[in-house]
């Protein structure tokens, strides 16, 4: 049997919840556990800056961690480019500053105050100056997926029946219905987040670990041994089955 692989669902700036999830993982698998974070590190919750800092410092210290890019992470990075740009997948009339998306809360975690009706171009130079370069580079360089053995870790999902090397980042960060409604087997068990529920769910061909931290519900941590999956609570493992 291969070593366990751990995964953490969407975090959305919930530093305290993330620390709790990592404590449960370390209790189950030790400090050297392989952990994949499924993206959406930022927005909505109170401490996106702290979440990024924790992950950066852990990886710099040699933790066996990987992070995939979520749609909220991509909006963060697009805003911080030389010229800020909206994500083309965002609905017309919305942008990263919209309260439903949560970019203002992320900037507030860096101490950046955004006056009412402030525009992107007004806040952009301030944000680029205040947010550490290490944070900006880390977020810009996140990969769209991690493939480990028979498990494909990705934020939103994949386009069914398309080879992995032909998948687009748009889909991997944003897809919903075409992926969620597909019931046939994929070449891998797809482990994803992006679509919040009340708890983690196993659909046979995919597992959704987004339990709604962006809406103040608990973060889910899970452990995989092959395709077998358990969620991790304070009392240990609970099987997650289709």
pLDDT in tens, 84-111: 988 989 876 788 998 899 999 999 999 9
172 φ, ψ (degrees, to nearest 5) = -65, -30
pLDDT in tens, 147-182: 999 999 999 999 999 999 999 999 999 999 999 999
> pTM of the prediction?
0.96
Is residue 38 over pLDDT 60? yes
Give the pLDDT score at 1: 54
The residues facing 202 across adjacent strands are 207
Residue 151's closest CA among 3, 32, 33? 3
Residue 32's closest CA among 57, 6, 50? 6
Q: Report the pLDDT averaged over residues 30-37.
A: 96
pLDDT in tens, 223-241: 999 999 999 999 999 999 9
pLDDT in tens, 180-233: 999 999 999 999 999 999 999 999 999 999 999 999 999 999 999 999 999 999
End-to-end distance of the chain based on CA atoms, in angstroms? 22
pLDDT in tens, 109-144: 999 988 887 778 899 999 999 999 999 999 999 999
CATH number at residue 63: 3.60.21.10
Q: Would you list the DSSP string of 38-89?
A: -S--SSSSS-HHHHHHHHHHHHHTT--EEEPPPHHHHHHHHHTSSS----TT
Give the pLDDT score at 94: 80
Give the pLDDT score at 118: 79
What's the total number of domains in the chain? 1
CA distance 30 to 24: 10
**Tokens standing for residue 55:** 């992950």
Q: Are 146 and 68 in contact (CB under 8 A)?
A: yes
Domain extent at residue 11: 5-239
**Tokens standing for residue 175:** 């897809």
Computed over every residue of the chain, the mean pLDDT equals 96
CA distance 197 to 231: 15
By percentage, how much of the chain surpasses pLDDT 70?
99
């Amino acid at each position: 049997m291969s070593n366990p692989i751990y995964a953490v669902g969407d975090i959305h700036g919930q530093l305290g919840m993330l620390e709790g999830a990592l404590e449960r993982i370390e209790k189950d698998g030790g400090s050297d556990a392989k952990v994949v974070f499924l993206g959406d590190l930022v927005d909505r919750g109170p401490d996106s800056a702290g979440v990024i800092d924790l992950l950066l410092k852990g990886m710099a210290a040699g933790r066996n961690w990987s992070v995939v890019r979520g749609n909220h992470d991509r909006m963060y990075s697009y805003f911080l480019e030389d010229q800020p740009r909206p994500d083309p997948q965002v609905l017309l009339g919305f942008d990263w500053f919209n309260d439903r998306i949560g970019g203002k809360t992320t900037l507030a975690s860096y101490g950046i105050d955004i006056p009412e009706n402030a525009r992107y171009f007004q806040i952009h130079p301030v944000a680029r100056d205040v947010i550490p370069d290490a944070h900006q580079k880390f977020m810009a360089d996140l990969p769209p997926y991690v493939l480990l053995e028979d498990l494909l870790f990705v934020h939103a999902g994949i386009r069914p029946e398309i080879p992995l090397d032909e998948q687009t980042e748009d889909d991997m960060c944003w897809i919903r219905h075409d992926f969620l409604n597909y019931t046939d087997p994929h070449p891998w068990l797809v482990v994803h987040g992006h679509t919040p529920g009340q708890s983690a769910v196993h659909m046979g061909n995919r597992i959704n670990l987004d339990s709604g931290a962006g809406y103040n519900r608990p973060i889910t941590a899970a452990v995989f041994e092959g395709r077998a999956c358990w969620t991790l609570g304070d009392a240990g493992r609970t099987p997650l089955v289709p």
